[in-house]
Each structure stands twice: as structure tokens, then as C-alpha cells.
A and B are shown apart, each in its own frame.
Chain A
């Protein structure tokens, strides 16, 4: 019995992966989004790909603790569009100048 339970425990919780289009521009944007999601409940790993056309954010998460909807909301909360959701104005206002729309990636 003990042996079985150990194996069951070692089995990692099932995770899902989602790719979300964002309005990130620069390295600072990447950091803001990655930091926010790192501290979002249920998120296991996050990566913002600045070289991709739509600044795809890949999120690995535990579906028991969070949902794609919640993850997108977390992204909009810090001021970025996430797929069909538009950036939260309050979060957008706080972004550094270079991260606002029309900003240029250095």
C-alpha cells in the first residue's frame, strides 16, 4: 500500500498548456507579464515570446486551480491585451512609456 501511494504521489499533477496572443512590446513587458503570471495561483510556468508575431505567451497551468479565462484576466489586469480581451485601462495607465501601444522595442 505504502509503495503504491508513493508512486501516486510522485505522479505530477496534470497540467495544460495555453498560448495567448498579447500586446507586449519589449523586454520590460515580458518581465511584467511573466512576473504577474508567476505569482498567479495555478500557473506552473510562463514564457512570453517577443520574437513571435503576436507576442505569444505560453502558459503551463494546473486546470484544477485556475482557468484560461483567469489567466487572460491576469494579463489584462497589468495592462495588456490577451487574445480577444482588451487591456484593463487602470493597469495600462501604470505601464512604463515604452510598453504602451506605439512604444518601440529597443
Chain B
């Protein structure tokens, strides 16, 4: 009580003086406070304050007070502190400022991101790139798989020439090794791995976090090369109505409608809906096969949210239906299926989900929190690839209980929790049935030590008790060191593991005449260590702001499911024998040469290799198939005031990549020559014209019209032994033009 009185006295005396004494110097003084539920306030110690566009900042003292020199063009003051939401406020005069920070429970509550199109999360000890709605609007089409166009770290490619599924890649490894969460709920995994990216429409997304390297232990053990967390539009924050329509030159049409309604101060409800279809038969390369499958998708989420001072609760349901038909142009699924007349592909997916997120908030102890996530789903898929029939059902239950608190003060924080994962798989391929029930209770602990403005250390570990694969320990370590206010160095190391679904994750390997063959022991969980270092540096060039990011990562597999296509007649699946690793190095420069103009230039290089087992049993270390060693990315964006006009241009150059030798009867040996697919470029551009309440946009993809010649091998004989539609390394379809509109009521 006594100290509080003194502090109050100080506060008022500073307040009194501020108007007179301090206004003579060009210094802003103020105090940073945290408001408690009981109406009392407490100073925030060690909060950092910095002017937007300024190199240097300051931090609050033990009373929460600060002083910061102000030059006239600086108005935007950025205030941040660990455990609190970063706040930006406008300061125009030299009056004493009182700033109230709100507590952030990043894992239990949403983080509002207001920044440039793509940026590095400066507070996060894990190297995390944030893709905002602004960046998502740059690539208008259409869903999560297409949202990484302007991101240097994640690249996207078609997995084959028939199914239309897309693969993302991070650190040289496929999306399987990225833990993809939707609002902290593991989502794109299991049977959803292949098409899951297509099931998140772009207009639903509010931001994407791309964390490179080992992730936090909190959301599980499956992050091996990185973690994506996708945030969706929130019922209490989003526009009341957001309508988007889209059409493109390939015949794809889309409607997205989001609704949000605040029922009262505490309750809100939101709907996210999507319908899209492609019914135009497209065969640009005249190989008799559809370049893209025909499809229809209906997709929706209904979410309710309750927010009071003490409790935050959200619950909702998701439903999805998708039907795809592809293969030969003349294929009619009603007549020709299993007939051998025409080659056909079909895939029907239904998915239903329930989710709830509850967080108990302690207003008097904002650093404390208790949250519970529950998610249940049924995923059902029935597919055929010519004569190869597949059905799969996944039933999953996921729950995660997180408790967070501090030891003494907010410089020593911890999170602890319990999780439970139940996966029940029932798959049938040809005449074999695969059943697997995984039941995995787990527990985790993560400790964060902060030395304000200097160092953040995160040490985490989790223990999971897998019913089939035993007790497993997953340690993770992260450090962020502030070399200077403009330079951050991050280190990370961590283990990850996951159980692969050999068939469901490799649909692209089924659209051929190869025989799927399991070699050796039963498939075991994949396991890897990831090590990384990254450096981000803010710089000023000709008085304009820029950022340089350098990073290097290595992933080392202890076990991996190797999908071996080195023998032309087989797809051989086996547990790793010998080595498998991926090295990745990336350099990225972001620069704003003029107001509202952004330029990004990035280069990355991969070295991804694994030991393949030849049929005679020797090991040969081969560069990973379909992975290009080099990639350049250039992005230019410009907007006029209030985004009345927006222009965006992206150019990508992908270097050559190794492809399997598919010549008749080929069996790879250590002496076989290496075959490469050529390098190619890809240019995308978009123009947006905004009106007061709505936008229209016109854009083009693959404007340079590069396509892979003959993406399907032996397309004229789809039931013959050389037929192969899995050898896709480049765009199958040429130039595409689209037009769309967005209408928003706030």
C-alpha cells in the first residue's frame, strides 16, 4: 500500500510537470501501466518504446516510466513488452503519456497483427514470418495453397498431372513435415494432408504465421521443419459482411461469403462459407487428359464466441464436401469406371469437425491463464486412380490443456499442459486393409527466461505415451539475442516425429502404372532433429526502411519413410537406411524505396539428399527428386493512398531439379547417370481498384506461359506399363487470367 501511494504521488507530480517543464525539450515522457480487474494499476517494467521508422528506442524503468526524444515527423509510438499485446499509438504533442497495455495470452487468445505485408515477428524467439491479409490480397486466388506466392520460405507445386493437389515445401522438405494448425488446432494432417490446403479459402484467413525450424512443444510433436498457424476471421473482429466472387479463364468460379454479428457485448457469432466449381474441360497440351480435374466444393464454418473479463469461450462446427473428377477428357465416371475404356480419377471427400476453445482469464494476474482446446473430426475419402481404388476414414480427437504463469515476475514465464490425441484410421487400397488406432496422451513444459532487450531463452520438452510406438521425449530449444535494437539473432534446435500415412500422403504416386511396394520392415514413425540459425536486421538506405533476413537450417532424419521411384516399375516404400538430411540457406531483403512501395528480393539454396536402397541392397546417396536446388523470388508492390489502386508483380525463378529416370525397365544403381528437369520462371501480376466499400481485381498467373512439355508419360496408353502422371516438375497449365470482386460492410 505504501509503495503504491508513493508511486501515485510520483505519477501525479510527473503529470503536473509534464505540461510545463518537459514541453521545452523535445522529449516525450510517460508511463506504461497495466490495468487490473480490481481497478488498480501497476507499472510495466522493461517495456520497450520506439518510434515507427526510428532506429533507437528506450525502455521503462522500475516505476514503469520512460522518456524518449521526439523529432517532429515521428508520431507512431510502438510499445511492447513480453506477455502484453504490442500497441501502437499516435503521439502528436509532448504531453505526458499514460499507456495501458493489455495482456496477451498468445496461445489462448488472438493476436492482432497490424504491419507491412510480410514481416518478422520481432517479439517471437522462434523465427516467424507473418503473412497478413494485405499480403494475402496480393495473390487473389484462392486458398491456403496459393497464399505463399509472395513468401520466400514456402514454395508450392502441383504434385502430379491429374489430381490437382498441391504440395507446399519448407526447408526443402514437403508439407508433411510442417505442422499446420488452424488457430492452434493441428489441422492439415492424417488423411487431410494432400488436399487440406485447398480446404482453407483465402477470404477466411486473417493471417498466417510461418515459423521455421523446430516449433513450440505446446501444439505437439509433429513439427519437424516448421509450423504454420492460420488464423481465421473472428466473429467479433471481422467485417459484418464480406462477399467475394472470383472467376478465371480456366472456368473456375468461386463465391465466398463471411458474416459476423455481435449479439451483445459478450456474445458474437460468425459464418464463413465457400462454394467453388470448375466445370470446363481443359486440355491445353492435347494429351487427351484434363489439365485440371473438374470439381465442386462446399465448405463452411459456424462459430460462436463469448468474451467477458473472466472467460473467453469459442465453439463451432465445420463441414466440407468436395468432389473431383479427372483423367482422360472422354472419361465418364458413370459408365467408364473400372471398364478400362478411359482412364479416370475421382475423389470424394467429406469432413465434419467440432471445436471448442475455452480460456479462463485472471484479470488481476494477466500473465496467468488456463486454456482448453477440444477438437473432434471425421474425415472420409473415397478415390480411384484408374483401376486402383482407395477408401479412407479418419476419426480424430484432440485436446490440449495449457496453463501459464510466472515465477516471481514476467521475466520468468512457464507454460505447462496435458494433451491427448486419438487417431483412428481405416484405409483400404486395392485388396488390402490398413487399420490403425493411435492413442497418445502427452504432457509438456516450456520455460521462457527473458532479459529485457537482450535475450530470450525458451526451453521446452514434452513426453508422449504412444500406444503403438512407446514413450517418446521431444526436446526443443529456442533463443533470441538482441545484438542491437535493429538486429536479432535466433537459434533453434529441436526434435520432431510423426507417423506417416503412406498412401494418403502420396496420392500423386498412384496416378501411374507403377506397383506400390512396401520393402522391409513395417513403417515406423519418422523422426528428425532440426537445427537453425537466423539473423534479421533493420536498416536504412537513403532514409528508407528495409530489412535483411539471413537464415540457415539443417534437418537430420533418424527415420523417414522413403518414397523411392528409382525403379521405373515400382514405387518402393521403406524405412530410411543410412542418411537423410536437408540443408537450407536463405537470404531475403525487403525494402520500401518510396511510400507504399515494397520490394522483396530473396534467394534460397537447398541441399536435400537421402540414401536410396537399390533392389540389390546397396545404398546410394541421391539428391531428393523434384526439389530444385536454387530459387529466386522478386516481388514488387505499390499502392496509392488508402489503397485506391494496388499493383503487384511477382517473378520466381526455379532452378533445375533431379527427376527419376522413367525409361522403360530402368533400375537405378550407384552408376546411373542423373537426369535433370530444366529451370523455369513464373510471373504473376495483379491490379486492384478499390472503391469506398468494394474492390475489383484483375490478375494473371503464369503470365510467361511456361508449361512442362508432356507432363504425362505414355498418355496415349494409360493402362500400359509405362503410363506415369507423377513426373511433374513444372506448371501443367499455361497462362491464366482472373477477375474478382470484394464487397465489405464494416
Contacts and interface: CB of A to CB of B under 8 A. Distances in A.
Contacts, number: 20
B690 interface: yes
B129 to A, nearest CB: 27
B641 interface: yes
A34 B90 contact: no
B613 to A, nearest CB: 63
Interface string A45-63: 0000011000000000000
B642 A39 contact: yes
A38 interface: yes
Nearest to B98: A106
A39 B690 contact: yes
A31 to B, nearest CB: 9
A105 B690 CA distance: 29
B644 A51 contact: no
A34 B641 CA distance: 9
B469 interface: no
Interface in A23-79: 26-27, 34-36, 38-39, 50-51
Interface residues of A, number: 11
Contacts of B106: none
A39 B691 contact: yes
A36 to B, nearest CB: 7
A39 B692 contact: yes
A27 B642 contact: no
A27 B93 CA distance: 13
Contacts of B691: 39
B112 to A, nearest CB: 15
A35 B90 contact: no
Nearest to A78: B692
A50 B89 CA distance: 15
Contacts of A36: 692
Contact of B644 (A27, A38, A105, A106): A38
Contacts of A105: 92
Interface in B616-643: 641-642
B90 A26 contact: yes
Interface string B688-709: 0011100000000000000000
Nearest to B640: A38
B90 A38 contact: no
Given A36-B692, A39-B692, A50 B642 contact: no
A50 B93 CA distance: 11
A101 B642 CA distance: 25
Contacts of A39: 642, 644, 690-692
A84 B413 CA distance: 57
A40 to B, nearest CB: 8
20 contacts: A26-B90, A27-B90, A34-B641, A34-B642, A35-B642, A35-B692, A36-B692, A38-B641, A38-B642, A38-B644, A39-B642, A39-B644, A39-B690, A39-B691, A39-B692, A50-B92, A51-B92, A105-B92, A106-B89, A106-B90
Given A35-B692, A36-B692, A51-B92, 6 more contacts: A26-B90, A27-B90, A34-B642, A35-B642, A38-B642, A39-B644
